[in-house]
Amino acid sequence: MRTTAMILATALAAALSGCGKSDDELTPKKTDFGTGLNTIEKTYDTTPSRLFEAVSSALQGYGLTVDSDRHDDLGGEIQARRADGSKVTAKITARDEASSDVSIRVAPGNRNLADLIHARIAEKVGALEAK
């Protein structure tokens, strides 16, 4: 009986002394460490070739330096860099003949700036459609 009580007490002490998650593990992270959780994806009613013009213009409109621009008629990727050196990646993928997906990721996981870039892209797409 005494042995059973000691085993239960030891097990309880072990459970309470760090087997659970700490407060640091439960709080939201400021970055996604490359997992893509902070990538914002939106669909636009235009072709990838027209979107590349709008995305490139939006990125340059915020003063970003375009490092690479690889695309074809089905999609591609633009990589740019902010003044502080953080990377911005825009991926464009054709959904069908008349619409495309654009995902924006601002390292290290800055969703607010990705939303601002999408707003600028929407403005540019609207201007393209008006022509």
pLDDT digits (tens, 9 = 90+) for 59-95: 999 999 999 999 998 999 999 999 999 999 999 999 9
Taking the whole predicted model, whether its pTM rises above 0.85 is answered as no
Give per-residue burial for 41-50: e unless 16+ CB within 10 Å, then b.
Answer: eeebebbbbe
Share of the chain above pLDDT 90, in %: 56
Average pLDDT over residues 103-118: 91
Residue 24 reports pLDDT greater than 70: no
25 phi/psi in degrees, rounded to 5: -75, -20
Q: Looking at per-residue confidence, does 50 or 16 come out higher?
A: 50
In order of their start, the domains of the chain are 36-130 (3.30.310.80)
Q: What is the pLDDT of residue 126?
A: 85
